[in-house]
């Protein structure tokens, strides 16, 4: 009896090991049975709201009469820790190893990531787009500083100044006015640590680059590092006037950390992502007395773009998706679902969120395309500003 039992146990153990290997087979068989239609796969990253909105877009695409008989659009969310590092790393690794690729046909690329792709892999990593296959491209209003032949922007987002309109009826209009306001109202402003979220990072980047020539914003040239110190002196000077806890100036972690302080009325102003504010006001987790404004010169924004990797074998299907994403229907889903800034003319878009965005113009979006200098900037901040008493 005992022998039988131990034998059974051993078999069971073996089964659990081999079981993992065989378990995935049926599903892959299932996929090939519908292969008359071409499956086109998008790799995207980012937060939960990005993922959910893409799922909605895919549903729309797959039921759209124009596409549903020809293609199946599949979205794969590549989760990552901070930022979209792992998606970028995987792509570059695949490109450098020159491996065969039939798992992804479209990837999400932010305008800042594009610079990194160009630095680390080179232009050949993406396909040159055939604009004649993307008729909706002509409605596009977003301006791009580089990669126009390889990228299709599909949504914009920007950091704005969020403020409590009950406490501040007249918010600052320029960056200089904001700095002066911070000095006059100690303890009422905070920005999150640049390493933990884009809103605080944008405050840092603009503080430094506002004091530098304009072309520096779109350059990853090492020579600009010499001019960083002026901006750091400004941040050091502002440091004692920022939000204090327990008598010490602190920088909250994560974008949400700064927003929590604003919601709790511990501060009355902070840089924040426009889409985070819209979705939180809609969900009711943020009072609608919180308003947004953009400074001059503004905080930085970003275009999220799509690109087709040169290794993709389904160029036609991928182009069809790019065209779909620029349609009014898709842009409305994006604005509804995540407060994404439309990249096309807003006249064809009917969304309750449109009003909240009406004071901003996508043409004014400012992007900091400084490539790998960005992480050096964050490191310098951690060493020089975070350590201040």
Contact status: 232 vs another protein (CB under 8 A): no
Buried b (16+ CB within 10 A) or exposed e, 140-164: bebebeebeebbbbbbbbbbbbbbb
Nearer to another protein by Cβ, of 13 and 128: the residue is 13
38 CB-contact burial (10 Å; exposed 0-12 / middle 13-18 / buried 19+): middle
Question: Smallest distance, Å, CB 194 to another protein?
Answer: 9
Question: Smallest distance, Å, CB 154 to another protein?
Answer: 25
Question: Smallest distance, Å, CB 92 to another protein?
Answer: 12
Contact status: 172 vs another protein (CB under 8 A): no
Question: Smallest distance, Å, CB 22 to another protein?
Answer: 16
**155 within 8 A of 342, measured Cβ to Cβ:** yes
Name the DSSP letter for residue 74: E
Structure tokens at 100: 């065969």
Contact status: 22 vs another protein (CB under 8 A): no
57 CB-contact burial (10 Å; exposed 0-12 / middle 13-18 / buried 19+): buried
Contact status: 167 vs another protein (CB under 8 A): no
Contact status: 193 vs another protein (CB under 8 A): yes
Give the C-alpha separation, 105 to 314, whole Å: 7
Question: Smallest distance, Å, CB 182 to another protein?
Answer: 18
Contacts of residue 211, defined as CB under 8 A and 6 or more positions apart, other chains included, come to 227, 230, 231, 234
Which own/partner contact pairs does 177-182 have at CB distance under 8 Å and 24+ positions apart? 177/295, 178/269, 178/295, 179/234, 179/238, 181/269, 182/238, 182/241, 182/242
Question: Smallest distance, Å, CB 190 to another protein?
Answer: 11
From candidates 36, 99, 363, 383, binder to another protein by CB under 8 A: 383
Please give the full DSSP string across 151-187, using - where no structure is assigned.
Answer: -EEEEEEEEEEEEETTT-SS---BHHHHHHHHHHSTT
Contact status: 47 vs another protein (CB under 8 A): no
Contact status: 246 vs another protein (CB under 8 A): yes
Structure tokens at 34: 């519908």
Contact status: 309 vs another protein (CB under 8 A): no
Nearer to another protein by Cβ, of 6 and 359: the residue is 6
Contact status: 10 vs another protein (CB under 8 A): yes
Nearer to another protein by Cβ, of 223 and 248: the residue is 248
Question: Smallest distance, Å, CB 101 to another protein?
Answer: 24
Distance of CA 93 to the CA centre of its chain: 21
Question: Smallest distance, Å, CB 378 to another protein?
Answer: 6
Beta strands 301-307 and 269-273: pairing type? unpaired
Give the C-alpha separation, 112 to 301, whole Å: 10
Question: Smallest distance, Å, CB 133 to another protein?
Answer: 36
Contact status: 81 vs another protein (CB under 8 A): yes
Nearer to another protein by Cβ, of 16 and 132: the residue is 16
Contact status: 83 vs another protein (CB under 8 A): yes
Alpha-carbon distances of 195 from 192, 203, 229, 253, rounded to whole Å: 8, 12, 19, 9
Site for another protein in 259-288 (CB under 8 A): 264-266
From candidates 8, 9, 55, 128, binder to another protein by CB under 8 A: 9
Stretch of residues binding another protein (CB under 8 A), selected from 3-11, 20-28, 68-76, 209-217: 3-11
Residues in touch with another protein (CB under 8 A) = 3, 6-7, 9-10, 13-14, 16-17, 81-83, 85, 193, 195, 245-248, 250-251, 253, 257, 264-266, 375-376, 378-379, 382-383, 386-387
């Amino acid at each position: 009896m005992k022998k039988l039992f131990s034998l059974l146990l051993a078999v069971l153990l073996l089964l659990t090991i081999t079981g993992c290997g065989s378990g995935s087979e049926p599903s892959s068989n299932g996929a090939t049975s519908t292969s008359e239609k071409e499956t086109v796969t998008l790799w995207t990253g980012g937060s939960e709201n990005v993922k959910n909105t893409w799922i909605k877009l895919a549903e729309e695409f797959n039921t759209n009469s124009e596409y549903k008989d020809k293609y199946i659009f599949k979205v794969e969310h590549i989760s990552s820790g901070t930022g979209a590092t792992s998606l970028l790393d995987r792509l570059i690794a695949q490109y450098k190893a020159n491996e065969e690729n039939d798992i992804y046909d479209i990837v999400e690329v932010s305008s800042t990531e594009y610079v990194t792709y160009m630095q680390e892999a080179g232009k050949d990593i993406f396909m040159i787009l055939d604009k004649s296959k993307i008729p909706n491209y002509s409605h596009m209003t977003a301006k791009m500083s580089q990669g126009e032949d390889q990228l299709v922007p599909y949504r914009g987002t920007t950091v704005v100044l969020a403020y409590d309109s009950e406490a501040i009826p007249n918010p600052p209009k320029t960056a200089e006015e904001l700095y002066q306001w911070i000095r006059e109202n100690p303890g009422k402003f905070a920005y999150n640590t640049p390493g933990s979220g884009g809103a605080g990072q944008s405050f840092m980047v603009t503080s430094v680059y506002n004091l530098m020539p304009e072309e520096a914003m779109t350059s990853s040239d090492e020579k600009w590092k010499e001019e960083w110190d002026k901006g750091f002196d400004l941040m050091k000077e502002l440091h004692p006037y920022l939000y204090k806890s327990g008598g010490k100036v602190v920088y909250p972690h994560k974008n949400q950390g700064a927003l929590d302080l604003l919601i709790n009325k511990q501060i009355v102003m902070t840089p924040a992502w426009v889409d985070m504010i819209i979705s939180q006001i809609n969900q009711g987790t943020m009072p609608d007395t919180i308003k947004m404004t953009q400074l001059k010169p503004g905080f930085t924004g970003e275009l999220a773009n799509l690109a087709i990797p040169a290794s993709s074998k389904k160029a036609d299907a991928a182009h069809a998706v790019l065209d779909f994403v620029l349609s009014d229907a898709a842009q409305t889903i994006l604005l509804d679902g995540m407060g994404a800034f439309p990249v096309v003319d807003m006249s064809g878009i009917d969304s309750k969120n449109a009003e909240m965005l009406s004071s901003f113009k996508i043409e004014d979006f400012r992007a900091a395309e400084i490539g790998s200098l960005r992480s050096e900037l964050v490191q310098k901040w951690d060493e020089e500003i975070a350590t201040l008493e």
